[in-house]
Structure 1
Amino acid sequence: MPKFALKALWLENDLAIAVDQVVAKNRSPLTHYFFWPRDDAWEQLKAELESKTWISEVDRIELLNRATELINYWQNGGRNRPISEAQAQFPDILIGGNS
């Protein structure tokens, strides 16, 4: 059974979110990055996940809920905090960036 995981790029003016498929301990990109707030990353991610009909509704909902939490954290001041704090807050999300 495939598992999925979010990854994010923590940028100065944007938050980029993508999904990887996880098999064993290996990650493979499943989607490209969607940028918030430049675009409506959540809606784009939702549409992309819905287009992959082999992803269960439960998995889609879990990914979208977690993406919502990350977006809310970023826009409510998290973007001005050290990236290490975001990594500690969201240990299940692979977060990289330039801060």
Structure 2
Amino acid sequence: MLHFRLKFLWFGTKGIAVSLDQVSLNSNKVLPLTEYFFWPRSDAWDEMRICLKSKTWISSNDLVFILNQLTEVINFWQEKNDLKAENSAQIKERFPNCDFVFCD
């Protein structure tokens, strides 16, 4: 069984970067599926959408879920982009199915 996981690099007020990994739940192996897309430098949401549409094995339901989750994190960043690594529990609690690396 396959599972998808968004991975974020959090650059504070400078922006965020996002990529997508595929995780095999049977073996816990992780396979990177996309490069990093940077927000707000570019339209990371649209770049992710275009990239995922080219991966025909990703179902439309998974595609919608991934993009909705990305939207939620982007909206959160727009409100709380000054969040520091020492407060990372707040974001990890809000988005438990995503990975975050804080780059202060």
What is the TM-score when the length of structure 2 is the normalising length?
Answer: 0.88
Give the drift of 1:26.
Answer: 2.3
Question: What is the Cα deviation at residue 29 of structure 1?
Answer: 0.6
Structure 1 residue 32: Cα displacement: 0.6
Spell out structure 1 runs of 4+ moving beyond 3 A.
Answer: none
Which blocks of at least 5 consecutive residues in structure 1 are unaligned? Answer: none
Q: CA deviation at 1:17?
A: 0.7
2:92 to 66, 87, 95: 87
Letter in 2 for 1:23: S
Identify the residue that residue 8 of structure 1 maps to in structure 2: 8
> In 1, distance between residues paired with 2:98 and 2:81?
15
Q: Percent identity?
A: 42
> In structure 2, the residue corresponding to 1:38 is in which secondary structure?
coil
The residue that corresponds to 1:72 in the other structure is 75
Aligned CA distance change for structure 1 residues 82 and 88 (closer, same or farther; 3 Å): farther
Distance 1:94 1:4 in 2: 11
Structure possessing the higher radius of gyration over alpha carbons? 2
Structure 1: how far apart are the matches of 2:33 and 2:76? 24
Question: SS state of the match for residue 19, structure 1?
Answer: strand
Q: Distance in 2 between matches of 1:44 and 1:74?
A: 18
Aligned to 2:22: 21
> What CA RMSD, in Å, does the superposition of the two structures yield over aligned residues?
1.2
Which secondary structure state, in structure 1, belongs to the residue aligned with residue 81 of structure 2? helix
Aligned length: 98
Q: In 2, Cα distance between the equivalents of 1:22 and 1:87? A: 18
Alpha-carbon distance in structure 2 between the residues aligned to 1:20 and 1:89 = 19
